[in-house]
Amino acid sequence: MATQPYENALRAVESLSIEDCERLLGELTARLAKGAVRAKKHSIMEFRGLGKDIWKGIDAQEYVRNERASWDG
């Protein structure tokens, strides 16, 4: 469901020349990029413990040893 300001902007864009559309697109892209920079940054620490159930009951050393052995063919 489009909002009134969006509909008004869309109608206004339809009346622009190709050159003005390209200019507007550049300005909108720059504006969106600035918004992306302000987005919340995440820490790698948020992944701590993720997927730990997958490794339950598996010995890490044994797993690594088996992986390395498989490299030799």
Q: In whole angstroms, what is the distance from residue 2 CA to residue 32 CA? A: 19
Residue type for position 45: M
Reported as a single tens digit per residue, the pLDDT across 28-71 is 999 888 877 676 788 999 999 999 899 999 999 999 999 999 99
**pTM (global) more than 0.75:** no
> How much is the pLDDT for 39?
67
> How much is the pLDDT for 1?
61
CA geometry: angle at 70 spanning 68 and 71, to 5°?
70
Whether the predicted pLDDT of 11 surpasses 70: yes
> How much is the pLDDT for 37?
67
Q: In whole angstroms, what is the distance from residue 43 CA to residue 52 CA? A: 18
Q: In whole angstroms, what is the distance from residue 59 CA to residue 69 CA? A: 15
